[in-house]
Amino acid sequence: MSWVMQHAGYKLIRADGAGTIHFGKPLISEIRRIIGCSGLDTVTVDRKRQTVMFVDDTGMLDGKPVNPRATKLHRAIRKPGTTHHIHGDVVIVNGGDVA
């Protein structure tokens, strides 16, 4: 992962590839609002740092575009040959940084 948060915070990665870092501990309701969904799923992207990516649980079904950066992070920790894609915007949070 190319970024490491030194303080409580999170990174938003939009489906178009834009990324922004925000400080503070986000609430689950805030994460849902930011990525525009009602249900979340989690993907561990760095086991050592306990970094989690929150994704839209129904992003694919809702027709949201593939998020190439998020998909790359997802595939980096999965078995070779994994073909799943992450759809829509995502929020990445270091372990324990969700309020």
DSSP of 39-88, one letter per residue?
Answer: -EEEEEEETTTTEEEEEETTTTTTTPPB-HHHHHHHHHTSPTT-----BS
pLDDT tens, position by position, 17-67: 999 998 888 889 999 999 999 999 998 887 777 789 999 999 999 999 999
Residue 65 lies in a domain: yes
The pTM of this model reads: 0.84
Only one residue has tokens 């805030």, namely 30
> Is residue 3 in some structural domain?
no
Task: Provide the domain limits for residue 70.
Answer: 17-93
30 in a structural domain: yes
Average pLDDT over residues 83-90: 92
Yes or no: say if 63 and 28 are a contact pair by the CB < 8 Å rule: no
Task: Kindly state whether residue 12 falls inside one of the protein's structural domains.
Answer: no
Distance of alpha carbon 67 from alpha carbon 97, whole angstroms: 23
CB 37 within 8 A of CB 57: yes
Tens digits of residue pLDDT in 6-15: 456 899 999 9
Model confidence at 96, pLDDT cuts 50, 70, 90, reads low
Number of domains comprising the chain = 1
In a domain, 7, yes or no: no
Mean pLDDT of 73-96: 85
